[in-house]
Amino acid sequence: MHHPTHLIHRDLRRTPPVAVCAFGLQVRDSAGNTYLDASGGAAVSSLGHGHPDVLAAMQAQLKVAAYAHTSFFTTEVAEELGDRLAQDAPGDLNHAYLVSGGSEAVEAALKLARQYFVENGETQRRVFIARRQSYHGNTLGALALGGNEYRRRHFEPLLMDVARVSPCFEYRERRAGQDVHEYTANLLQELETKIIDLGPQHVIGFCAETVVGATSGAVPPTPGYFKGVRALCDKYGILMIADEVMCGMGRTGTLYAFEQDGVVPDLVALGKGLGAGYQPIGAVIARDHVVQRLRAGSGVFQHGHTYVGHPVAAAAALAVQKVIRRDCLLGAVTVRGAAFRRMLREAFAMHPHVGDIRGRGMLLALELVQERDGKRPFDPDLQVHAAVKEACLECGLMVYPMGGTIDGRRGDHVLLAPPFIATEADLQQIVARLADGLERALARVRPG
């Protein structure tokens, strides 16, 4: 549909198709095209579209109370969601602060972390450490934390200083012949040196995505990496902040991706899969000691938005959590994620332009390269990721490709994050359409 619009769309020169109906893995537009949702939008729709339990829970809550400002009231549904999140989180991650999305969750985590030290009289602590090739959201604090040059470039003068270390990105950064343990040890050494150079007494925390989502494409950490990070945070008394906005809430087969790395961060940012797209909701989950310090100090978290703790959003998220548990969807993610990966390997392992197939659970990606052997990326001017997205849509498939130049490195990847309810037949269909879409796209961009 191309008509004049009063909305500011992402692309100001183009109105995207109008979604008129979405159910399960299918989305239909007003022109009658249907698309199979292999990316859950942007790794959001973990239960697919139109789930009856979630719709019913939201409707019921709308009748109880559509809104209650948190300076006046709490609500039963928000309390129940807090209990559920605390109960299901490992360790003493017993406290939830409900916001409206991923960037807000990251902002709240940054402020909570800073206030934690202020309450202790450590007002000199003002630096966060994060990794290059990372994305933590688009509000100014979250954007400053992230290392995504493309998203930062217009706003650099407005962004707070953040100290950077290398990403943990085995495919791109581990030297040929270098042992993975040595690679990991070097990364941890770099982090320790950074902390020492900054002066540990000035550092608030280290923040990283457990499995990196959009900037690099479903990049899992190397074995032992996060255990090493946790040990360094403990050694120097700084907070470990996990951004699980994309990889959390079951997407990797455990409720939190870091459970597979044997660590418990001090603060966790959630978004996307928490409400699975039914409502805008995010959360910060905090350990006992963080909240205790504020409770024993000023007694107030100096933060808040009009929509924190929104009851209908809480109802949606609570219903999503209940469905995940009742329908054993974490197990399904592990089993079907492994099947999906096998299918992707069968289809693309020998593909001349697929350099890597990676990820965890149902958060997977293909890295696209000009040449497999030297891992040479495509020329960014070719915009391969954009061509893949468009060609896949033509084939009736939603995938989430990204690319461009980040941190001086180039690369294109296709992120795949199907709903947890996808069947094997759905996954086969996704792989078949992706193969078609990829060939179409490559035929368009390949020189000669």
Taking residue 167's Cβ as centre, other Cβ atoms within 10 Å add up to 25
Interaction pattern, residues 270-289, with ligand PLP; x per rule: CB under 6 A: -x------------------
Interaction pattern, residues 51-90, with ligand PLP; x per rule: CB under 6 A: ----------------------------------------
Residues in binding contact with ligand PLP, number by CB under 6 A: 15
Among 57, 106, 264, 313, binds ligand PLP (CB under 6 A): 106
Query: Token pair of 26, please?
Result: 């299918």
Among 26, 28, 29, 42, binds ligand PLP (CB under 6 A): 42
Give one DSSP letter per residue of 332-397, joined into a string: HHHHHHHHHHHHHHHHHTT-TTEEEEEEETTEEEEEE-SBTTTTBPPPGGG-HHHHHHHHHHHTTE
Binding of ligand PLP by 243 (CB under 6 A) = yes
Which of 109, 190, 103 is closest to 148 using CA atoms?
Answer: 103
Binding region for ligand PLP (CB under 6 A) out of 3-11, 173-181, 242-250, 379-387:
242-250
What part of residues 171-230 is at the interface with ligand PLP (CB under 6 A)? Answer: 209, 213-214
Nearby residues of 91 by Cβ (< 8 Å), 6 or more positions away = 264, 287
Among 135, 226, 258, 301, binds ligand PLP (CB under 6 A): 135
Binding region for ligand PLP (CB under 6 A) out of 116-124, 239-247, 321-329, 330-338:
239-247
Task: Let me know the angle formed at the C-alpha of 219 by 214 and 222, rounded to the nearest 5 degrees.
Answer: 155
Write down the number of H helices and E strands in the chain. 14, 17
Query: Token pair of 147, please?
Result: 């290392």
Distances, alpha carbon 256 to alpha carbons 113, 290, 419, in Å: 20, 19, 16
> Locate tokens 């698309």: which residue?
35
Query: Token pair of 296, please?
Result: 């024993």
Dist CA 440 CA 433 (whole Å)? 11
Binding region for ligand PLP (CB under 6 A) out of 12-20, 80-88, 129-137, 329-337:
129-137
Binding region for ligand PLP (CB under 6 A) out of 51-59, 101-109, 164-172, 425-433:
101-109
- With respect to ligand PLP, which residue has the nearer C-beta, 42 or 432? 42
Among 24, 40, 82, 102, binds ligand PLP (CB under 6 A): 102
Q: How far is the CB of 34 from ligand PLP (least distance, A)?
A: 25
Task: Let me know the angle formed at the C-alpha of 148 by 146 and 150, rounded to the nearest 5 degrees.
Answer: 145
What part of residues 386-425 is at the interface with ligand PLP (CB under 6 A)? Answer: none
For ligand PLP, the binding residues (CB under 6 A) are 42, 101-103, 106, 135-137, 209, 213-214, 243, 245-246, 271
